[in-house]
Amino acid sequence: MSRPRIFVTRILPEKGMQRLQPLSEEYELEIWPDPLPPPPEALQTRAAGAQGLLCMLTDRIDAALMDGMGPSCKVISQMAVGFDNIDIAAASRRRIPVGNTPGVLTDTTADFAWALLMAAARRVVESDKFTRAGLWKSWGPVDFLGPDITGATLGIVGFGRIGQGVARRARGFDMRLLYHDVQRQEEAERNCPAEYVDLPTLLRESDFVSLHTALTPETYHLMNRERLGQMKPGAILINTARGPVVDPAALYQALKEGPLAYAALDVTEPEPIPPGDPLLTLDNIIVAPHIASASIQTRNKMAAMAVANLEAGLRGRRLPNCVNPHVYP
Ligand code: GLV
Ligand code: GLV
């Protein structure tokens, strides 16, 4: 009799691979070996009939894929906190629990949002390119000027774990802190003082705006032409959430014609951003390839957590971190 199958869509960081190993005694463990994700057809074929799927945010997990997996599917475990690539409603209808990896990447992602904020304000990437191009001829009194971070106003859109992490770090810079969320987060405010304001006020008053919302139908192109137009002249936008929270055409215009001075993105629409994208012709933007959680420790923790969710699902236990717990009675 053939053993039940597990499909893992990428090679995991070391701690994840170590935790997967013991499962290979009971399960046929298939790991996609390429550095790039399985193309949709390959994903469909490999996932078909599997009892467990460990996937990434680069995999589109839709109803058709779940139908292909069939009734043997016991768990979908994603190695990410975000899960907008998975049709959760479709999984719930099939009573498939879906796991994610919250908490372990909060600080690492907040650190990276700060890295982008500071790199944009102080033009670190641009000035490095300048140096490498042999253009540094002298210290210059008006070269590479950017706005001060200390004492500025930081507006946080989405005051969840990561948004609060970004806010906590701002204290060291004596910043005024504003936040917006669908509702006031009084509990969070106690640990992390920040002023709750509506979005237009936040956009009008913030020198820096950092996005930390999940991608949902409500936040798709939240930062559109109108909202970007409401930002303070010279403001800087940081996006470490999801690319489609920002309308890229509107962002291009806001960076080219104002009011934005700079943007720093870890996420784009689409991903990866094509090399010919108009945004990449601008000097006042930094684009990182979706690496905010990419610390050695954090990626190992995310992988271990994803395997723990996978294993619990395979054994019919409740996932330690389940995004659709209503599948349980
Ligand atoms: C990364 O973007 C994640 O959702 O974990
Ligand atoms: C700059 O390097 C200074 O000494 O002011």
> Per the structure, how many domains does the chain have?
2
Catalytic residue flag (residue 212): no
Judge if the beta carbon of residue 57 lies within 6 A of ligand 1: yes
Q: Which ligand is nearest to the CA of 140?
A: 2
Q: Which ligand is nearest to the CA of 56?
A: 1
Statement to judge: residues 60 and 160 lie in one domain: no
Statement to judge: residues 261 and 140 lie in one domain: yes
Statement to judge: residues 17 and 153 lie in one domain: no
Statement to judge: residues 276 and 236 lie in one domain: yes
Residue of 59, 98, 109 with the most ligand 1 atoms within 8 Å of its CB, for mutation: 109
Statement to judge: residues 129 and 262 lie in one domain: yes
Q: Which domain holds residue 128?
A: 106-287
Judge if the beta carbon of residue 81 lies within 6 A of ligand 1: yes
CATH of the domain at 218: 3.40.50.720
pTM for this predicted structure: 0.96
Q: Per the residue annotation, which of 10, 180, 242, 299 is the catalytic one?
A: 242
Statement to judge: residues 241 and 263 lie in one domain: yes
Catalytic residue flag (residue 19): no
Statement to judge: residues 262 and 227 lie in one domain: yes
Q: What residue owns the CA closest to ligand 1's atom 1? A: 80
Statement to judge: residues 129 and 251 lie in one domain: yes
Q: What residue owns the CA closest to ligand 1's atom 4? A: 82
Statement to judge: residues 239 and 249 lie in one domain: yes
Statement to judge: residues 116 and 92 lie in one domain: no
Per-residue pLDDT tens listing for the chain (329 residues): 689 999 999 999 999 999 999 999 999 999 999 999 999 999 999 999 999 999 999 999 999 999 999 999 999 999 999 999 999 999 999 999 999 999 999 999 999 999 999 999 999 999 999 999 999 999 999 999 999 999 999 999 999 999 999 999 999 999 999 999 999 999 999 989 999 999 999 999 999 999 999 999 999 999 999 999 999 999 999 999 999 999 999 999 999 999 999 999 999 999 999 999 999 999 999 999 999 999 999 999 999 999 999 999 999 999 999 999 999 98
Statement to judge: residues 213 and 238 lie in one domain: yes
Catalytic residue flag (residue 290): yes
Statement to judge: residues 150 and 12 lie in one domain: no
HEC letters along the chain: CCCCEEEECCCCCHHHHHHHHHHHHCCEEEECCCCCCCCHHHHHHHHCCCCEEEECCCCCECHHHHHHHCCCCCEEEECCCCCCCECHHHHHHCCCCEECCCCCCHHHHHHHHHHHHHHHHCCHHHHHHHHHCCCCCCCCCCCCCCCCCCCCEEEEECCCHHHHHHHHHHHHHCCEEEEECCCCCHHHHHHCCCEECCHHHHHHHCCEEEECCCCCCCCCCCECHHHHHCCCCCEEEEECCCHHHECHHHHHHHHHHCCEEEEEECCCCCCCCCCCCHHHHCCCEEECCCCCCCCHHHHHHHHHHHHHHHHHHHCCCCCCCECCHHHCC
